[in-house]
Amino acid sequence: MPGMPTVTPDPGQVRTCRLLLALGMNRADAERTARSVRNHRAFGTRGGRLAIFAYRESDPAGGDRIREAWILLSVLGWGERESAIALDCSRTALRGHLQQAASRFDAVDVEALRKIVDAYRPGPMEAASTPGAEDPYRLLRWLGWTAVVVVGLEVLRRLVVGS
């Protein structure tokens, strides 16, 4: 949008955006989601988990745990513990996901997806709007108060005329 302030993303936001892109989210949605995830108070310890959950909410199928595990470990190179935390599963479950992924994906898939993710170069991102800057119910409230005043004046008029 013209006139909107822009901000330069920090490394954590870029990392989150790359994760979302690898999972299959389009660039605009990935950048917007990465910004909102980055602003969450638990980002420092749970940024990956927040991003995975945001992706699952955006995916009509609810995400694919096997593919997610494969992307985190094989494509993005995350550690086992960090990946298990992000996927909200145990390390044993994570290893099971990876075993299943071995029959679905190979080294060519890893390299192809890495090239796509590594090609992402963040530009200035649209700054988040300040809360309360735009109130969608402002007109409705204004109309409501106008109706209250009109009804109040009509009641007052009838009291004055009737006495």
* Cβ burial 25-35 (10 Å sphere, 16+ → b, else e): beeeebbbbbb
pLDDT, residue 45, reads 67
pLDDT at 130: 47
**pLDDT at position 5:** 57
Q: Would the pTM count as exceeding 0.95? A: no
**What pLDDT digit, counting tens, does each position of 47-84 carry?**
788 888 888 888 888 889 999 999 999 999 999 999 99
Amino acid at 142: W
Residues contacting residue 33 through CB under 8 Å, at least 6 positions apart:
16, 17, 20, 25, 51, 54, 55, 58
Low-confidence ranges of the chain (pLDDT < 70): 1-7, 9, 45, 124-136, 163
pLDDT in the model for residue 104: 93
